[in-house]
Amino acid sequence: MKNFNSCFSEPCTVIGDFNHVLFSHERSGCTLVHPRETMGFSYCLNFTGLLDLKFSGSFFTWSNNVDGIHRKMSKIDRCLVNATWTSSFLSEAIFSPPGVSNHSPISIIWHASKKSHMPFRFCNIWFLHPEIQSFLQHTWSVNIVGNHVYVLNAKLRMLKKAIRGWSRGKFSNFAAN
């Protein structure tokens, strides 16, 4: 997978059972997750630029199919995408409840086109508003987990959405998006 990043400049997804969790909360009823246990998989994802596609449905994607106190569950199945995918498609992974298997089936759902016909423009007049500095600092300080490109992309998208809502409330008579 180390060569993955250089091979795929096009939108790409990798789906399947990775047999590893990334974080301790992705396992339940099992032994505690030691940080060393997640390092290899985490390094691989950071190195390749792959990240989890937004998902809904079952959080835990595998179980030992035992009920009660002996039940074990983990999030080991994933739908990973590169940054080109996230900027090209508005999609999400759906993890359905397991049927015959002890793994959750994965589906990808594509939504309407992600491309907006109205570009985002930052208006200099916003800097004159007394709340702008604290608003920007608060929005930018949100902790996001992922590689540097993903974190920057996610923060910029979040900031754009927040600024649009904020500007509509504060500058409703101003002709801006």
Q: What residues contact residue 135 under an 8 Å CB cut-off, 6+ apart?
A: 162, 166
Residues facing residue 56 across a β-bridge: 94
> Alpha-carbon Rg of the chain, whole angstroms?
20
Domain chopping of the chain, boundaries: 1-113, 116-177
Per-residue pLDDT in tens (0 to 9) along the chain, 177 residues: 555 555 567 888 999 999 999 998 899 988 788 888 889 999 988 888 899 999 999 999 999 988 899 999 999 999 999 888 888 888 999 999 988 899 999 999 987 665 555 677 778 888 888 888 887 888 888 887 777 887 888 888 888 888 887 777 777 655 544
The whole-number pLDDT of residue 86 equals 85
The reply to whether CATH 3.40.50.10600 applies to domain 1-113 is no
SS3 (DSSP) at 69 = helix
Q: Given 3-state DSSP classes, what are the helix, strand and coil percentages for the chain, each rounded to the nearest 5?
A: 40, 20, 45
The whole-number pLDDT of residue 177 equals 47
Strands in 77-81's sheet, in edge-to-edge order, are 13-17, 77-81, 51-52
The whole-number pLDDT of residue 1 equals 56
Distance separating alpha carbons of residues 86 and 90, to the nearest angstrom = 7
The whole-number pLDDT of residue 3 equals 57
Residues facing residue 17 across a β-bridge: 77
